Amino acid sequence: MEDKLFDYISRYMIVSEEEKKAIIDLDIFRNYKKGTILLTEGQQSDDGYFVIKGCIRCYYIIDGEEKTTAFYPESETLAPLCSVNKKPSEYYVSCVEDSILIVSNPEMEKTIFERFPRFETLCRILSEELLAKNQASFDGFKTSTPEQRYLNLLKTRPDLLQRVPQYQIASYLGIEPQSLSRIRKRLVK
């Protein structure tokens, strides 16, 4: 587990043995079963997540129907809005698959940042990348048709189509499952 984290960090900086030990000593690795709900609407949490293995998703329940807004597979980070604004969550976070996650909170981060200030710079860089990625994703969603959204998902994240139930994919694309089936049939022809 630790190796996957350090491989990810090594794309940005070299991590010393002392830094590795400090991170491992935080006891941040957690195993969750498929279907585990990590965050519910109305819950306040300071926890942030980094996916080592598996996949988590964010969704709202509107008029009794789940509306998926995001998937986070391996090497992706989720800092729920409630962990930033300190207000109750407006959405849910759950495990799509059995997952191994790093679960951290501001207290843990403060401890590491005080001891190793360069990790704060790393987190800033990662936050900027995530913000830019989310903005591009939002722009693409708002300016494309459902078929274009599906084709983009097929091109950029094909693994999700094998790992995630089709009704969740349809919800993520902003369409009904029947519409997704029609799009897929049309594209096969």
Q: Using one digit for the tens of pLDDT, what is the confidence trace for 11-40?
A: 999 999 999 999 999 989 999 999 999 999
139 inside domain = no
Sign of the alpha-carbon dihedral angle for 81, 83, 86, 90: positive
Q: For the domain that residue 101 is a member of, what is the CATH number? A: 2.60.120.10
Q: Which helix (H) or strand (E) holds 24?
A: helix 17-25
Joined tokens for residue 5 = 């984290």
- Same domain? For 48 and 112 the reply is yes
Which is nearest to 47 in space by CA: 92, 73, 83, 95? 83
Domain boundary among 115, 134, 153: 134
Residue 38 is assigned to a structural domain of this protein: yes
Beta partners for 39? 93
Same domain for 130 and 148: no
Rounded Cα distance, 145 and 183, in Å:
11
* 104 and 12 both lie in a single domain: yes
Number of domains in the chain: 2
Same domain, 179 and 103: no
Q: 149 and 124 share a domain?
A: no
Residues 6+ positions from 61 with CB-CB distance below 8 Å: 41, 67, 92
Average pLDDT, the chain: 93
Q: Does 102 fall in a domain?
A: yes
Structure tokens at 110: 């403060």
In whole angstroms, give the CA distance from residue 138 to residue 22: 36
Token pair for 159: 């693994």
- Whether 169 and 102 map to the same domain: the answer is no
> Is a pLDDT exceeding 90 seen at residue 188?
no
pLDDT in tens, 125-136: 988 998 898 899
Examine the domain organization and report whether 112 and 168 are in the same domain: no
The verdict on 25 and 68 lying in the same domain is yes
- Between CA 92 and CA 106 the distance in angstroms is 20
**pTM confidence score:** 0.89
Domain that includes residue 162, residue range: 144-189
Indicate whether 92 and 175 sit together in one domain.
no
Instruction: Please check whether residue 112 is in contact with residue 26, taking contact to mean a CB–CB distance below 8 angstroms.
Output: yes
